[in-house]
């Protein structure tokens, strides 16, 4: 995965979390749907941010993240 792709995924997950929380606060989105978006987007965004942080600028492999 390229560094820009990982950053794009992290930004997309962050935007989804912000929009779902704002929609739930405004009453436009059911709270259970907002909670589902937060539960799914937070781990994906966190992992994408870690991959972006640890990725180099060149064509090197991304280090193994472990389990």
Query: What is the pLDDT at residue 42?
Result: 97
Which one-letter DSSP state was computed for residue 27?
T
- Is 64's pLDDT higher than 70? no
Kindly report, residue by residue over 14-57, the tens digit of the pLDDT: 999 999 999 999 999 999 999 999 999 999 999 999 999 887 66
The distance between the two most distant Cα atoms of the chain, rounded to a whole number of Å, is: 46
What are the residue boundaries of the structural domains of the chain, listed by start? 3-54
**Closest by Cα among 66, 8, 14 to 43:** 14
């Amino acid at each position: 995965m390229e560094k820009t792709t990982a950053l794009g995924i992290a930004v997309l997950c962050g935007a989804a979390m912000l929009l779902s929380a704002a929609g739930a606060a405004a009453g436009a989105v059911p709270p259970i749907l907002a909670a589902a978006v937060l539960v799914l987007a937070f781990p994906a965004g966190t992992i994408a941010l870690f991959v972006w942080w640890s990725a180099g600028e060149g064509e090197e492999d991304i280090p193994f993240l472990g389990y």
